[in-house]
Amino acid sequence: MSMNRRGVLAAGAATALGGLPRARAQDGRVIRIGVMNDMSGPYRDAAGPGSVALTQQAVQDFGSRGFAVEVLQADHQNKPDLGASIARQWFDQGVDVVADLPTSSVALAVNQIAREKNKVHLNSGAATSDLTGPHCSPNTVHWTYDTYMLAKSTGAAIVKSGGTSWFFITADYAFGHALERDTGNFVRAQGGSVVGNARYPFPATTDFSAFLLQAQASGAKVLGLASASTDTVNAIKGAREFGLQRRMKIAALLMGLPDVKSLGLESGQGLLLTEPFYWDLNDRTRALTQRVQAKNQNRPSAMEPAGCYGMVFHYLKAVADLGVAAAKASGADVVARMKAMPTDDDAFGPGRIRADGRKIHPSYLFQVKAPGESRGPWDLYTLVATTPAEEAFRPLAEGNCPLVKT
Amino acid sequence: MDDIFGIPAPLLFGQLLLGLINGAFYAMLSLGLAVIFGLLNIVNMAHGAQFMMGAFAAWMLLAWGGIGYWWALLLAPIIVGITGVILEKLFISRLYKLDHLYGLLLTFGLALIIEGVFRNEFGSSGLPYRIPPELSGAWDLGFMFMPVYRGWVVVAALILCLTTWLVIEKTRLGAYLRAATENAALVQAFGVNVPRMVTLTYGAGVALAAVGGVLAAPIYSVNPQMGSNLIIVVFAVVVIGGMGSILGSILTGFALGIVEGLTKVFWPEASATVIFVIMAIVLLARPAGLFGRA
C-alpha cells in the first residue's frame, strides 16, 4: 500500500524540491549538498533525518574556509524512478553532491546520473557492493559499508562457529540479491553450502512465517537474513516464535542500532552483527555523539548518518584543497582529490579511499547484549572481533571495476 | 515422507495453517471495512492506520500505564473507537450525501496524517511488544512447530467475526442498521436516532481494526507503516468478497490467506501480487464480487 499511496504524492514531493533559496549570482561560492534518503518509510530511522543532522554537523565542524555550504534534503521513498528524477532536478539546479542514498536500487539509478552530469555521489546508506564493482564510477565514493563487508565479518564468524549449511530469506531487489550472493560466496569458500532460499517481495511483506517454515524444513543450520530494518525485525521475532533457534543459528546480515532497539534486547540478545561505527566505540565516537545529540533527536547515530558525517567532512576538505570553482566544475576531479587525500574523522578515524571508490576502514563484529548486561537505553553491543581495514572489504582486483587497471 | 507437487506434505500442511493465521488478520480487517462500507457507504482508507493505532495503543498502555495485554485487548479498541467516533462527527458525517470518492480521499488523507504523526513521534523502526506469558510457548504438531499465540489469533478472529456477523444479521440492532442503510428517513420516523447509530457503527468498525492491531502487536514490529502494508490486500479481499458483504469478507479473508500462503511456497516472489491477480479475475467474471449482490 505504502508504495501506491506514496506514488500519488510522488509528483508533489518532486515539485516541493523546486525553488532553491539562493540567488544564482552567488552560485560560484556555494557548495550544495543534497541529502537524499528514506524520510517516511522503513529505512527512516537508520538513514533519514539523522543523516541530515550528521551532514550539518560535518559542515559545522569543518568550519568556514572561504565558501558557503548549503544542505538540502529529499525523500526518495525507496523508489528508483523518484530518486532519479530528484537527482536530475537537483543537479540541474546547481546541487553539487547527492549524499547518503540508502536503498541499493535507488543508489544504482542515481549513480549513473551523477556520472552523466559529472557531479558527486557520496554513498553511505546503500549496501550493494556493485557500487564499487561493475557499477563503479569516477564520480562516486562508497563510504560506510557494503554487502561484501557484512558477509565477510558476520558470515565468516558464523561459518567458523559451525554454521556450515545456510538457507537465505532474501529481500527481492538489488540489495537482497547482492547480500545473498556475497554471503553465499563466503560460505562456499569456507567449505559450507547454501541449501536454499526464499525471496520475499519488498516492501510489501509483513509476515515471514511461511519463509521461516521453509527454512526450517530445509534442514540448514543457519538462517541467513538478507534483509534490512523492519523486515529483519519481523523475521527474527517470527523465528523466535516458531522455535527456529532450537536447531538453527540466525545470521542477521544487515542489522543496525535502530533495529536492535526496535527488536528489544530480550529477543535480540546473542545475535551477531557487523557495523563499521558504534557510538560507544572510542573517545572520538563518543565525543561526536555528544556534539550532535541535540540535533539528532537525542539518540546516538546509526552507522549510515555517521558515514554521512565522515564523507561530507572529507569531501569539504577536498573542495577546499581543489578550490570551489574547480570543484563545482567537475565532480570527477573532486572525487579524484578525495582519493588522493588520506581521510580522518571522528566517526571512522584515519582511513583512505581506493581507486574503485571504496572507503577503507575496519569493520567490527558485535554481539547484542543480554538485558542484564545493558547499562543504558543505548548500551546495546559488546565488541567481539575487529577486521582490519585492509581486510574488511573486497580486494581491489576482485571487484571487476573498470576503473581499476589490472 | 509423501510429496505433494514436489513439496513435502508436512511443509504443505504447515503452510496451509500459516495461511489460515494470516487469513485471520485479513478477515478481521476486511470485516471492519465491510461493516463501514455496507452501512455507511464510506470507503475507509484510514482502516490500516486505525489498525496501527490499535497496536500503538496497546504499546502505550503497557509502556506508560503498566496495563498488560488482556486489558489492552479491551481498552485499546475502545480508545481507538472513540477517536473514530470523533472523526466521524467532525468530518465523515459531512460526506454521506456526496460521491464515494470524497469519503475515500478524506480517509486516505487522514491515514497519511495519522501515520505521519506516529512516525514523527515514534520513528519508523518500531517498538517491541512481548507475547503475554500465558500465550507464549508452542505446540509441537509433528509436521510443524505451532506457536500458541498464533493459534489464539485464529480463535480470537473467528469469535470476533462470528459475533459481528450475528449482531448484524440476527439481532434487532442489526436489523435497524440494515434498514437504515435502505431507507434512513423511514427508520428515523420510527423513532430511531439514525445519525447516532451511524456514528457508533463507524466507531465499532474502527474498533474492529484496533482489535486486529492489538492482536498483531506481539507478532510484528509495532511501527507506523504496519497497517499500510496490509490495507491494500484487505481492500482486495473486500472487493473479491463483494463490497459490503459481511460473510463474504470473512470467508474471502481466510481463503485468500491460504492462497497467499501457498504462493509463498511455490513462487515466493509473486506472493504480494497473487491476490490482485485473483481480484482481476473475479472482477471480470463477477463484477459484484463472489458474495455481492449485483
Q: Give chain A's end-to-end CA distance (angstroms, integer).
A: 47
* Domains, chain A, ordered by start: 2-145+282-361 (3.40.50.2300), 148-275+362-392 (3.40.50.2300)
Q: How far is A340 from chain B (nearest CA, A)?
A: 38
Determine, for residues B125 and A261 on separate chains, whether the beta-carbon distance falls below 8 Å.
yes
Q: Does B138 touch chain A (CB under 8 A)?
A: yes
Cβ atoms of A310 and A251 closer than 8 Å = no
Give B4's pLDDT tier (boundaries 50, 70, 90): low
pLDDT over threshold 90, residue A253: yes
Cβ atoms of B229 and A204 closer than 8 Å = yes
Determine, for residues B228 and A2 on separate chains, whether the beta-carbon distance falls below 8 Å.
yes
pLDDT over threshold 60, residue A21: no
Gyration radius of chain B over CA positions? 19
**pLDDT for position A56:** 96
* Count of H-run helices and E-run strands, chain A: 16, 15
H/E element, A343: strand A343-345
Q: Say which residue the cell 516458531 belongs to.
A: A242
B53-66 average pLDDT score: 95
Alpha-carbon distance of A306 to A321, in angstroms, equals 23
Interface mutation target, options B30, B108, B221, B260, chain A, most CBs of A under 10 Å: B221
pLDDT in tens, B223-252: 998 998 788 889 999 999 888 788 888 999
Cβ atoms of A30 and A69 closer than 8 Å = yes
Q: How far is A238 from chain B (nearest CA, A)?
A: 7
pLDDT over threshold 50, residue A2: no
Alpha-carbon distance of B137 to A242, in angstroms, equals 9
Q: Which amino acid is at B226?
A: M
Nearest to B252 by CA among B213, B290, B209: B290
CATH number for the domain whose boundaries are B14-115+135-285? 1.10.3470
H/E element, A183: helix A174-189
**pLDDT for position A138:** 97
pLDDT over threshold 90, residue A91: yes
Higher model confidence: residue A13 or residue B65? B65
pLDDT in tens, A204-225: 788 898 899 889 889 999 999 9
pLDDT over threshold 50, residue A23: no
**pLDDT for position A13:** 45
Q: Report strand pairing: A272-275 vs A363-368.
A: antiparallel
pLDDT in tens, B28-43: 999 999 888 888 888 8
User: In Å, what is the CA distance from B107 to each residue of A31, A189, A347, B91?
Assistant: 42, 54, 44, 9
3-class state of residue A181 by DSSP: helix
A324-351 average pLDDT score: 96
**pLDDT for position A325:** 93
The interface pTM score, or ipTM, of the predicted complex is 0.83
Determine, for residues A242 and B138 on separate chains, whether the beta-carbon distance falls below 8 Å.
yes
**Percent share of chain A, pLDDT over 90:** 78
Alpha-carbon distance of A197 to A215, in angstroms, equals 8
User: Chain A: residue nearest B15 by CA?
Assistant: A210
3-class state of residue A336 by DSSP: helix
Q: Which of chain B's residues have a Cβ under 8 Å away from the Cβ of A266?
A: 128, 130
Interface mutation target, options A246, A262, A297, A301, chain B, most CBs of B under 10 Å: A262
**pLDDT for position A153:** 94
pLDDT in tens, B165-220: 999 889 998 888 888 878 888 888 888 888 899 999 999 999 999 999 999 999 98
Gyration radius of chain A over CA positions? 20
Domain boundaries, chain B: 14-115+135-285
What does the block give as the cell for B235? 481492500
B112-120 average pLDDT score: 93
Cβ atoms of A302 and A50 closer than 8 Å = yes
Which among A213, A243, A267 has the least Cβ separation from residue B18? A213
Q: How far is A175 from chain B (nearest CA, A)?
A: 15
